[in-house]
Structure 1
Amino acid sequence: MLEIFGDIAQNLRLGLMATPSPGHAGVKEQGPVHVHHVTGPPASGVTSSRQSRSPTMKSPSVQTLPLHKPIILKKDKSIRQAALAMNRNHVGSVIVSDGHGVLRGLFTDRDLALALALKNMETSVPLGEITQHSLLYVNESATLENVIDLMKKYAIRRVPVVRSRPNGKQTCLGIITLDDLVKEGLIDKKDEVQILRSQLKTTHERHSRGRLKSIFRSQEHKEHAMFAFLKSITENTGLSRVSAKRLALESLTMILGRVPEKPGTKLLAQLPHELQMQLLSEVSPADRSITATLILEQTQKNFKVTPKKAQELLQGFWRALSKAVSSSEIRKLERELPKEIIQIFYSRSLLT
């Protein structure tokens, strides 16, 4: 279990996973815990577990979209069993069933992180106690546009496709994910950014209603995470706080521009909130024009230093980044970035 929860614990430490995804697992009060439950009418062509509408927009049918095989667990299964199932199947969510053919909700890795952060939420708690009958999904006659509308409206990344039978039972045909829509070029960049930004942002409305009271993503914690990251950079480079922030933004811009979108998005999710919002638009398909030479030249030019000093600054930034995000994320970056770029951040003799 330590391996399963390692990255999650790191994200919780940085305050990046405290807000549950709206529209997924409903939230009941567990002591101080408040779990969000989406109410109100679903988007056009979208079905909640209590209501159905016919799609009206002309766009590709969901049956032509890439679908992930759903992992379905009964409501009496525990949080721990859900974590093991997600880890074993390399997925980020499980669908919770009442055991009689009715789907209750979607329990995600984000919900798991929130549950583990709460004192009264133990891994033995059954999924049925924290997942209300509030699954948001589309039916098999829905369209791609319906799916994207639902993702934007409720800031969710996964949408199940469900077939409802006359006897009231339901069958999940698969799950559509934002990552797959991006990978297949089925979603506009503007819509993708809107969904990601909605997930990262805690709105005033949610706070005022008390539905998404964030424990770890409070303003105080956001500021502390940013302060700690910049302090680490200054200690490793000797730069002022203002220059440290500039180095972080410029270096991360080039890194996010060079790696593919999926690992770039995952790296972004572990950064301090202020950097997330400023760098969100930098997540894009890998730009091979970004090379080790370009990174060094840009750093040298921007800080008016020698090539050797530029590399020392980049190495100091990398040491700070390695403390701010999980070790597994650093290893992923090392695999995605070209060897020549990795050498900039590690090799002390590259320019001597």
Structure 2
Amino acid sequence: MVATPLVPSEVEGRMSRSPEPRPSTALGTSEPKGKLTPNAPLAPLVWFKSGGAAEWLFEPKDVDDLSSFLADLDPAVPVMALGLGSNMIVRDGGVPGVVVRLGKAFAKVEVLDATTLRCGGGASGILVSSTARDAGVGGIEFLRSIPGTVGGFVRMNGGAYGREVKDILLECDVVLCSGERRTLPLDALGYTYRHSELPDGAVVVSATFRGHPAQPVAIQAEMDRIAASREATQPLRSKTGGSTFKNPPGTRAWKEIDEAGCRGLRMGDAQVSEKHCNFLLNLGKATSAEIEALGEDVRARVKAHSGIELEWEIQRVGVEA
């Protein structure tokens, strides 16, 4: 099974020509302005530090470059957008097709008025929330607690501390696999818990968020509260993927995992965190297969103990080795 998340990132794109002649016409005939790399290792780019390579890694120069590249791409070639890699297991066999990463050109945040921000798909939650604070825009503080970028927040209806993207999103701009650009309003996204109906392969290049007027000092106090809570409860400086499973209705995933006796459970170098047992850890040299197998073992134990079927929140992409 291959899951396909679309989580753009704030990384520095570098302009260059393709490093070697293309082996076929599947990627089209025109040369992109951004960087196109074959057989690019993904383990260094994701938080678990495991997994295989991307068949092709594309870092577009700008929206025009991304649109032109996708328009020239064979429709049969899979497209996946990669963000900060915090909510992802890249399987050990790697990712076929093209992985898109958005660089600095996509990481800008613009203040439109007293309550509204336009944010690039590669902008981090820290940048968005800090810009909102400086502009006196409240209600966006929760994005600071999510380790990712705007594209991923929009794709997954990211949320924390009682707020979700659906509470602040007005519209988003996307580039489809065909290269077509579209602006989608909130009601077109079909948001549910940690899910949207964005088309597969669509890359979110910007989003417009609306908060409410607030004093910067009050906004900073809320961000400090959130940061202190995360520091006290989550394994922030570990090789991890963030929250592993969605919270089931009426309960918390960590509580069900703990009560099923899984706190500290280990498979090779993959371990259930003892600090927060809805986090999986790579203690050293765990393979993606070990991390995913540990997650499935946790799901089975919780099912046997409580009858609850945990759903993966972490995206699992690529092919098995």
TM over 0.5, shorter chain = no
Greater RCO structure (CA 8 Å; 6+ sep): 2
Look at both structures and tell me which one has the larger radius of gyration over its CA atoms. Answer: 1
- Coarse TM-score class (shorter-chain normalised): under 0.3
**Alignment TM-score, normalising by the size of structure 2:** 0.27
**Alignment TM-score, normalising by the size of structure 1:** 0.25
